[in-house]
Structures are given as C-alpha cells and as structure tokens.
DNA sequence: TATACTCTATACTCGTGAGTATATTTAGGG
DNA sequence: CCCTAAATATACTCACGAGTATAGAGTATA
C-alpha cells in the first residue's frame, strides 16, 4: 500500500532529496489517519449508517471530496477503522509469541491487550463492522481477519490444555465465550467509565480463570 | 395494548356474539406477529439499515402500506422485535423466581434460557437494537429494559455470593462478562450450527462455573 | 340493503446521502 | 518562472427508501 512514485531520479546526496517527498508522504498518511480516527469516533457515537461522509468531513473542517481524496468510499473507511482496531489485537499476539510462560498466562496478556483495543476509539468499529454493512468482498476480508483472532485464542487454549495450565474444555466454545465477553465491552464502555481497560480485563480474567464456583 | 372497541352492545348469549370480534382481533394479532417475525429474520440476515420496508412487505406478499397498518413505523418494528426477544429472557427470570435452589443453579437455568432466546429469530434484534438506530424516546425504553436483565443477573450473582454457592467476585463485571458472552452468540450463531442452544449454554456454564484453571 | 369499518393496493412525495464533474489553489521540480 | 501533480472546494446527480394520500375491496352490523 506504500506509495511507489518518485523512484525515477537517483538521489544525489543520500536522503536529502528524498526528504521532502517523504515529508509529503508522511503528511498525507497523517491526514489519512486523522480521517480514519475521526470516522471511527463518529461511527462509535452515532453508528455507521447514521453518520454521513458530510458529517465526517465537517468534523475535519473540510468537505466531502477531501475525504474521498483519502479513502475510496464509505465502506473502505469503515474497513480501515476496523483494521486499525484489529491491528492492536494482532500486536498482542505478536508480543506473547515467544514469551516462555505457560499458555494460561499468555492468554491473560492477550485478554488484557484485547480489552485495551476494544475500549479504544476503534473498538466499536472492530466489533460492529458487520457483514451486512460491507460488500461481499470486504465481508470476506473482515471475516478472515476476525477468524485469525479467534483461532489465536483457540490455539492458546489448546496449548494450555496441553501444558496443563488450563483445564480440559471445549476450546472452540471457550474462545467464543471469551471473545464475546471482550467484544461486548464495546457496547457498554463509555469514556467516563470508572474502571480502566486493564482493570476490566483483570476482573474478567478472574472470572474466566477461577470460575464462579468457590474453590 | 389489547383492543377495547366493540364494548357498546351487550352480548345476548354470552360469548357467541363476541366470537367473531375476537376472531378478528386474533386474526389481526396473528398477522401482526407474522410481520414482526419476518422483520426479525430480515434484520438478522441483512441488518436493520439494509432492510427496507418494501423488502419486508414483499416477503410477506403484501405491500408497504399493509405493513404500516400493523406497525407505526420502521423504528417501532425493530422495537417489537427487540421486545419479543427480551420477553423470552424475562420469562426465564420468572420461572426461577421461586425455585428453591442455590443462586448458582438458578443462574445456570437463566443462562440456558438466555442462550435459547439469543439463538431464536429475535436474538439478533435483541442484541443489536442499538441506541443509534432508535429515537431518544425508544432508546431510553430499550436501555431500561436491557438494564433490568443486567440487574437480574447481577442480583443472582450477589445472592450466590451470599448463599455461598458463588465465589466472591465483582458482580457487576461478572454480569457484563456473562451477558456479553451470551449476547455475542447472536453474532456467530447460524441455523446450521451443529450445537443446539442448550449445548452451547452447557459449555459456557462449564467455563463460567469451573474456570480455566485446573481444579 | 345501506353503512361503516377494516384491510390492502396504486402511485405518489420528499429528504437524505453517496458519489462525481469540474474548477481552483498550492507547492515542487526542472 | 513555468509546469505538473496534489489537495481542496463548489455544485451538482442520482438512487433509494421512509412515509402518505387516496381509492377500492371485503365484511359485519343495524
């Protein structure tokens, strides 16, 4: 996706000639990110279908064609918001990939980062970028990415069952339950919520790990 | 909400004169229910904003004004779908109200019936009747009703902590996690799902009750 | 049988919002 | 200093869909 123009002339002194171009590219990317961020907030507050591109443009103090200069259409805008949120969760998996702790502990780390992503500006889009809002092509993409997350959790559960840190259980259903509980945070979380994401994750983990039945 | 017309003349022979009127009322109610059911299915499949009232009408083999003869507007139609789903969950609470089992067991019963409601045709609407789709007035109603459910679960948790059947925990967050996991079923459940609602509930309960950590 | 009410259809209105054609400004590169 | 491309705006088009005005058909009741 990175721009590939301006490759014609050879830089005479290393980077200096590239700098302005890079600055421009960076500038464009920063603006594009701003569009996506504002859109994400608007979608979260008013919903996808109740937010017009005129709304988003005016919140950015620009007009609609400017928005279209950065994204192809409304659908792609939602997709970018979705991807931004998803990215944070993917990172969580990256970070625990080569930690040498038991799987239950690693799952705990993922859950915490997951909660943080869900409570971010992009959380709502991540959860709500539902199939019905997207074209079949986009829908497939979204589904595939969501499935990766699901498989990641499921995998951790299986590893935990194997290494003895997790009780034997239906990994598929457990993954659905955990992801569901986390995703649902996007429905009730407001910025004035007294509990921070990490604290919410802590309580959730206590439930998931220890269960309701007294030990 | 029950019709109150036809109260002017005194029935001469008990019910017989009332019968046709009642039949008519029943007929109307049956048709109204059909409208709501078809709408619920359509909303679940394609989403609220991607379903036009023309779509719903044509699935019912009628035209739009007919739909408007049974519901005031699209928003109310969604609300009725929401209410139908919610009703099933309310019933679950009714049924366990005076069972004399410990609170954890009663919670289990609610969870099972909750799962059944969520996998029903109305499940999607119940979960997705989000604020952004409704007028402020409707939104308040929906929120109030949803809150009742939440409070019901929270109450069961507190009772369980009191009667010793549930480990001491943050009842509010636990209720959110449980409700979230259950609500999320509406996002992934399809009619070709191999597991029945009761089976899903069983796996969920195993996770919630026993926890992931081996006992 | 006349009347009134329920139910349904045809054929509209009207607002909104996605997306675009086209012009204008701004800034780099030669 | 001109030329080209990026960035932004004005001012549209166009489709879709919610909701309605109006009329007609069916049916029960007086």
Region of residue A213 (left: phi > 0; alpha: psi -120 to 50; beta: else): beta
Q: Indicate yes or no: CB of A207 within 8 angstroms of CB of B176.
A: no
Chain B CB contacts of A46 under 8 Å are: 132
Rounded distance, CA A179 to CA B75, Å?
30
Q: Which of residues 47-76 of B touch strand D (CB under 7 A)?
A: 50-54, 64-65, 68, 73-75
Segment B132-136 mean pLDDT: 82
CA distance B114 to B93: 10
Torsion of CA B170, B174, B175, B181, to 10 degrees: 170
Residue B49: which of A49, A207, A208 has the nearest Cβ? A49
Q: How far is CA A136 from each of CA A75, A141, A143, B44, rounded to the nearest angstrom? A: 11, 9, 10, 16
Q: Given CB atoms, is A166 within the 8 Å cutoff of chain B?
A: yes
The first and second tokens of residue A17, run together, are: 């000639």
Counted across chains A and B, CB pairs separated by less than 8 A come out at 158
What is the phi/psi pair of residue B122, to 5°? -90, -5
Interface mutation vs chain A, best among B158, B190, B211, most A CBs within 10 Å: B211
Closest residue, CA to C1' of D17: B52
Q: How far is the CA of A57 from the C1' of C17 (A)?
A: 13
Q: Quickly give A96 CA vs D25 C1' distance in Å.
A: 71
pLDDT digits (tens, 9 = 90+) for A64-83: 999 999 999 999 999 999 99
Contact A181 B185 (CB under 8 A): no
Least Cα distance to B187 among A148, A131, A47 occurs for A131
pLDDT band at A22 (very low <50, low <70, confident <90, very high): low
Does the pTM exceed 0.85? yes
Q: Give residue-wise pLDDT tens across range B56-96.
A: 999 999 999 999 999 999 999 999 999 999 999 999 999 99
Paired tokens of A6: 């301006």
- The reported pLDDT for the residue numbered B44 is 95
Tell me the CA–C1' distance in angstroms for B42 and C17.
Answer: 23
> Which residue's CA lies closest to nucleotide C21 at its C1' atom?
A65
DSSP state letter for A14:
T
Through-space separation of residue A6 CA and nucleotide D2 C1' in angstroms: 20
pLDDT band at B52 (very low <50, low <70, confident <90, very high): very high
Report pLDDT digits (tens) over A145-191. 999 999 999 999 999 999 999 999 999 999 999 999 999 999 999 98
Please report the pLDDT score of residue A50 as a whole number. Answer: 93
Which percentage of chain B shows pLDDT scores above 70?
89
Q: Which of A133, A166, A181 sits opposite B212 (nearest CB)?
A: A166
Closest nt by CA–C1' to A52: C17
Q: Is B166 part of the contact surface with chain A (CB cutoff 8 Å)?
A: yes
**Average pLDDT value for residue range B158-181:** 98
| End-to-end Cα distance, chain B | 52
CA torsion angle A43 A49 A50 A51 (round to 10): 50
pLDDT over threshold 80, residue B6? no
Per-residue DSSP letter, B16: T
How far is residue A177's CA from residue A147's CA, in Å, rounded to a whole number? 14
Q: What is the mean pLDDT of residues B204-215?
A: 97
Please check the confidence at residue A100 and state whether its pLDDT lies above 80. yes
Q: Are A117 and A123 in contact (CB under 8 A)?
A: yes
The residue with tokens 């979230």 is B180
């Amino acid at each position: 996706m990175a721009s590939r123009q301006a490759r014609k002339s050879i830089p005479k002194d290393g980077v200096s000639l590239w700098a302005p171009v890079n600055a421009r590219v960076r500038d464009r990317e920063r603006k594009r990110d701003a569009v996506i961020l504002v859109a994400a907030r608007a979608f979260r507050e008013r919903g996808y279908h109740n937010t017009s591109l005129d709304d988003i443009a005016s919140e950015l103090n620009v007009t609609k064609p400017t928005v279209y200069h950065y994204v192809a259409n409304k659908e792609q805008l939602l997709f970018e918001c979705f991807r931004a949120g998803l990215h944070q969760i993917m990172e969580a998996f990256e970070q625990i990939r080569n930690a040498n702790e038991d799987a239950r502990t690693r799952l705990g780390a993922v859950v915490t980062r997951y909660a943080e992503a869900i409570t971010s500006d992009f959380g709502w889009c991540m959860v709500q970028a539902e199939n019905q809002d997207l074209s079949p092509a986009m829908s497939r993409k979204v589904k595939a990415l969501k499935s990766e997350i699901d498989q990641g959790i499921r995998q951790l559960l299986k590893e935990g069952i194997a290494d003895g840190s997790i009780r034997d259980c239906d990994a598929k259903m457990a993954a659905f339950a955990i992801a569901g509980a986390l995703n649902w945070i996007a429905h009730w979380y407001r910025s004035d919520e007294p509990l921070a994401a990490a604290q919410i994750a802590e309580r959730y983990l206590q439930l998931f790990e220890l269960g309701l039945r007294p030990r």
